[in-house]
Amino acid sequence: MRKFISFVVCALLAINVMAQLKDPVKWSATSRKNGTGYEVVLTATLPKPWHIYSQTTGEGGPIPTTIKFTKNPLLTFDGSVKEVGKLKENFDKLFDTKVKYYGEKVDFVQAVKVRGNVKTNVNVTVEYMTCDDSQCLPPTKKTFNVSL
């Protein structure tokens, strides 16, 4: 009986840990025509109280969001990835530093031009970290293939 109770307790703890590690961020990746080029839009949607960090969060704090595009000889990238959303800044007790982050929704937008009049895809990897008011999840990577 003692072994059975220990097994049940361990199983419940394992389920609880797995539930906590679930990624709360929902991503979508799209493109839209913009004049002579395209905009690649990565949208992160988060439930309250979760948040995701800006690409410009300083050193000593959480892992900033990074976005990397796979090289494609048919594409040129115009400028850097822009963040569109309600940027928040405050002192974070967990990291003991000032942080920049987004809650609920943020778009990461990259302008892209296609050489010639051809259809192609762009592969993009985003690495990000999410936290709420009491915990952070390990950094996560997601890869998307976006048609242009």
Report which residue type is found at 29.
A
Domains for the chain: give ranges and CATH numbers.
Answer: 24-147 (2.60.40.1250)
Residues 6+ apart with CB under 8 A from 109: 39, 40, 41, 42, 81, 82, 83, 84
Taking only the tens place, the pLDDT of each residue in 3-62 is 334 343 344 443 444 445 589 999 999 999 988 899 999 999 999 999 999 999 978 889
